[in-house]
Amino acid sequence: MITLPLELLHEITRYLPAQGRALLGVSRILHQIALQTVFSTVKIFLIHGEPGFDILNTESERYVAETSEWSMHRSFELLHHIITTQDFAKIVKTLSVHAFTDGPQVFELRTLSLALKAMSNLQSLSYFGDNPSFSHIAPSVPTSVRYLKLQALPEAHLLSHLDQLHFLQAAIPFVYVRDQKSDRIFAEWDANGLGNPADLANILESNPIRELVVLSAHLPLLPVWLCTSLTQLDICVTNWELVGTELLFRHAVQLEALSLVGYIDSGFFASLPADPAVLPRLTSFRISCEGLDEDVELRIAPYLREFLERRDAIRRLYIRLPEISLSTALMFAELVAKLPNIRVLGLHMGYEPIHETAALLLAEHLSPRLEALHLNLPWLSDLHVRTWYPILNKLQQLPDLTFLSLFSSGEDPIPIHPRDLAIDLPRLCLLGLQRSLFTVDRESCGHENEFDPLLWAPWTVKYCLPEDFESQDHAWLFRYH
């Protein structure tokens, strides 16, 4: 009998249909593969008391108590198994910690520290929340970690043993908005998360960072040598201050993905380079603004258009300018349709009601090559039939569309059941409505159209990881939701 390496068998199982994965229970030989599939990503929830209301987005004390008890028990079972079983600890490649508990936190910290020391193959660590603080367990982070995402950066000496970080996010300023109807990307900002610029500079100096999420206030700290080697950069603007972008653009010759999110002053857009020889490798671009009250048509749209129109390499694009006029939004839709490599698109259509002619134009401009699409539409029930069906008709003609996300910025919610959408669009595997996500698993049911899209838990959406998505394109499009 030919024995394949576990790594190869593990890769094979990824392509099994959902009902076929049940066959993993047939043979004991496959149990180890099943373990690697299920537990390569582990999520630890430390939830108790007042901070628990934040992570669970609820005011119900009973719900917090019941969910906290279940999640804490499950998390401690996992941590104990990691600590006591070396083979199991080696399986874990991605770990997320959700720290939202009050009290002394002694047992949580000691258990988590011991578990981190046991995970010798850990590649990715995300730490959400600050109760308990990450600084208490920072020295226990294994040196194998390449991806580090933190709510707030600790003092640099606590991470001085790390020297192979590939990705760093040193603050999480934009958090999930509880109100499903609120068309905002920014909820609360804790100034304590700003951290000490010197600590950030020391960590950047000590690691081969290629992907970085940084506050705009820290942008001037980036040395030229780092700018020339970055392949991905997200700039989070929390205070209208965005200085140093022209120097960055000039030196970022390797940059493939650029995101600018937050309170971006209209004066920035004049610095966007119209020459495609600047940022020559750019394939992903996101501009997501909040709080603009400027004239978008005069001070923003011309510069953004000049920046985009000759960038044929763009594959992923997200444009969110909430104050945009309908005519300008349609102009951008037409521009995007001409980009030959576009596959992923997010577009905010502004707040003007979409009439039937505009809906037909928007549908016409949707590229047939789209694989993932987010549309923010000013939904009005009175216009639903005349505006939605032209768009739906075009979506049904997109052969590769696997992720559709719809958000209503109008007076009315989206009047579409997720199951109806999944039936109308048979290639969908992920569906977003407002800030909710649904997995579309048709193979788990033996009969066509006899399935219900599976709703993600709110806290899973709120603190989603790239590993939660089947496609990195889906993860990119839903980021900063």
Residue 252 has pLDDT above 90, yes or no: yes
Share of residues in the chain with pLDDT > 90 (%): 58
Where in the sequence is the domain holding 411, given as residue range(s)?
352-481
Question: Residue 85: how many CB atoms within 10 A of its CB?
Answer: 12
Task: Say which range, 264-268, 361-365, 372-376, has the weakest mean pLDDT.
Answer: 264-268
| Mean pLDDT (whole number) for 404-410 | 91
Nearest-CA neighbor of 100 among 4, 176, 214, 195?
176
- Judge whether 101 lies within some domain: no
55, part of any domain: no
Lowest average pLDDT, out of 168-182, 214-228, 276-290, goes to 168-182
Total length of the chain: 481
Residue 13 has what pLDDT?
A: 60
Comparing 448 with 299, the larger pLDDT belongs to: 299
For the cut 70, the answer to whether the pLDDT of residue 448 exceeds it is no
Q: How far is it, in rounded angstroms, from Cα 463 to Cα 43?
A: 10
Amino acid residing at 220: P
Tell me the β-bridge partners of 262. Answer: 237, 289
Higher pLDDT, 4 or 144: 144
In a domain, 269, yes or no: no
Question: Could you report the per-residue pLDDT of 49-93, keeping only the tens digit for each?
Answer: 888 787 787 788 888 888 888 888 899 999 999 999 998 999 999
Q: Is the pLDDT of residue 177 over 70?
A: no
Total domains in the chain come to: 1
pLDDT tens digits, 85-137: 998 999 999 999 999 888 778 888 999 999 999 999 999 999 998 888 999 99
Asked if residue 236 is part of any domain, the answer here is: no
- Binning pLDDT at 50, 70 and 90, where does residue 178 land? low
From CA 388, how far away is CA 359, in angstroms rounded?
7
User: Would you state the pLDDT for residue 282?
Assistant: 98
At 244, is the pLDDT very low, low, confident or very high (cuts 50, 70, 90)? confident
b/e code 312-350 from CB counts within 10 Å (16+ = b): ebbbbbbbbbbbbbbebbbbbbebbbebeebbbbbbbbb
pLDDT at 411: 77
At residue 229 the predicted structure's pLDDT band, cuts being 50, 70 and 90, is very high
Identify the residue with better confidence: 208 or 11. Answer: 208
Cβ atoms of 430 and 438 within 8 Å: the answer is yes
Indicate whether 480 pLDDT > 90. no
Is residue 455 assigned to a domain?
Answer: yes
Do residues 158 and 133 touch, judged by C-beta distance below 8 A? no
pLDDT surpassing 80 at residue 384: no
Give the range among 27-36, 121-130, 219-228, 452-461 with minimum mean pLDDT. 27-36
Does some domain include residue 24?
Answer: no
Q: What is the pLDDT of residue 27?
A: 61
CA-to-CA separations, 219 to 8, 211, 243, in angstroms, rounded: 42, 14, 7
pLDDT attached to residue 1: 45
Q: What pLDDT is recorded for position 38? A: 75
The amino acid sitting at 148 is: L
Predicted structure pTM score: 0.90
Higher model confidence: residue 472 or residue 446? 472
Q: How confident is the model at residue 200 (pLDDT cuts 50, 70, 90)?
A: very high
Average pLDDT over residues 391-407: 95
* Residue 373 belongs to a domain: yes
Please report the pLDDT score of residue 28 as a whole number. 59
Domain-located, residue 105 = no
Residues 6+ apart with CB under 8 A from 177: 184, 185, 186, 187, 435
- pLDDT band at 299, cuts 50/70/90? confident
Mean pLDDT of 409-415: 80
What pLDDT is recorded for position 25? 57
